[in-house]
């Protein structure tokens, strides 16, 4: 039985004060659900959020991680540094980084491997553009993104990984994939992994991301291969994020 998980990606949409207020709201309102919850602040706020989250059930993650372990990489943050501040997760391959910061399948695979090496859980984000969905190449695109990491790191590294299916056209647009559209891709991802290792495929958490809200979370989470959500905008309100977190029925 897979545990469910919701992860909040705060992106670059928060400041010192709003981060404090949000964490206070989450800690105060956190219900005792049988599911996991994590937040990914901007790097700069990780130390203070880490302190506030000590001894709570809320886990910490980062929005990215460097492609190398250490060295002359100005401006980068290494996986071991995130570990120093009790991060459990690191998002890798978010579409905003693929589109705006030249992340490629190769650099995403390197980031994934760095996370694994440091005992962080990578949250590997994959997903198609609108034109790719309209062209009917969604499965092909997702398979290519996934295979690049599988070839680089091997199936065994997925024992300690999470996958987030985030159709790019649904991110921040208010357009959510329907529960059926998302389920179809989640199942495809699980089957692709099952070709290499059935057990790992059955165990891995596959999250959906893209305009997840309290209004659509329940329908998404009712799908058999959707194990939670990677939430952007609605993770910035404690009330909305906790409503999403409370939407698991299974």
Q: Which active-site residues does the annotation give?
A: 94, 166
Question: How long, in residues, is the chain?
Answer: 250
Task: Report how far apart, in Å, the C-alpha atoms of 135 and of each of 30, 132, 143, 235 are.
Answer: 42, 5, 15, 31
Is position 82 an interface residue for ligand 13P (rule: CB under 6 A)? no
In 3D space, the residue among 187, 198, 130 whose CA is nearest the CA of residue 158 turns out to be: 198
Contact 212, 244 (CB under 8 A): yes
- By beta-carbon proximity to ligand 13P, the closer residue of 75 and 174 is 174
- For residue 123, the cross-strand partners are 91, 162
DSSP-derived letter for residue 221 is H
> Would you state the structure tokens that stand for residue 130, as one six-digit string?
């609108």
Under the binding rule (CB under 6 A), the answer on residue 228 touching ligand 13P is no
What number of CA atoms fall less than 13 Å from residue 221's CA on the CB side? 24
Out of 49, 62, 171, 207, the only residue in the binding site for ligand 13P (CB under 6 A) is: 171
x-or-dash pattern for ligand 13P, window 88-127, by CB under 6 A? Answer: ------x---------------------------------
- CB 51 within 8 Å of CB 23: no
9 lies in the site for ligand 13P, by CB under 6 A: yes
Question: Which of 172, 178, 199, 250 is close enough to bind ligand 13P by CB under 6 A?
Answer: 172
Q: Which of 163, 189, 212, 220 binds ligand 13P (CB under 6 A)?
A: 212
Sign of CA dihedral 63, 66, 70, 74: negative
Structure tokens at 232: 């952007």
25 or 214, CB closer to ligand 13P?
A: 214
x/- string (CB under 6 A) for ligand 13P, residues 22-61?
----------------------------------------
Question: Which range touches ligand 13P (CB under 6 A), out of 76-84, 102-110, 203-211, 237-245?
Answer: 203-211
Q: Which chain residues interact with ligand 13P by CB under 6 A?
A: 9, 94, 166, 171-172, 209-212, 230-234
């Amino acid at each position: 039985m897979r545990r469910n998980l919701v992860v909040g990606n705060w992106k670059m949409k928060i400041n010192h004060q709003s981060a404090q207020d949000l964490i206070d709201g989450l800690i105060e309102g956190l219900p005792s659900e049988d599911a996991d919850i994590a937040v990914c602040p901007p790097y700069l706020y990780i130390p203070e959020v880490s302190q506030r989250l000590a001894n709570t059930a809320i886990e910490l993650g980062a929005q990215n991680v460097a492609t190398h372990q250490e060295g002359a990489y100005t401006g980068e943050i290494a996986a071991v540094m995130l570990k120093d501040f009790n991060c459990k997760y690191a998002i890798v391959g978010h579409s905003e980084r693929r589109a705006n910061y030249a992340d490629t399948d190769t650099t995403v695979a390197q980031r994934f491997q760095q996370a694994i090496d440091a005992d962080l859980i990578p949250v590997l984000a994959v997903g198609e553009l609108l034109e790719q969905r309209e062209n009917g190449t969604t499965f092909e695109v997702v398979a290519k993104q996934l295979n690049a990491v599988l070839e680089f790191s091997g199936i065994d590294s997925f024992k300690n990984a999470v996958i987030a299916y985030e159709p790019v056209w649904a991110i921040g647009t208010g357009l959510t994939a329907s529960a059926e559209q998302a389920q179809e891709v989640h199942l495809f991802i699980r089957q692709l992994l099952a070709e290499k290792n059935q057990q790992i495929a059955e165990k891995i958490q596959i999250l959906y991301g893209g305009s997840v809200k309290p209004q659509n979370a329940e329908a998404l989470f009712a799908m058999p291969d959707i194990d939670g959500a990677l939430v952007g905008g609605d993770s910035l309100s404690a009330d909305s994020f906790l409503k999403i977190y409370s939407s698991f029925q299974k």
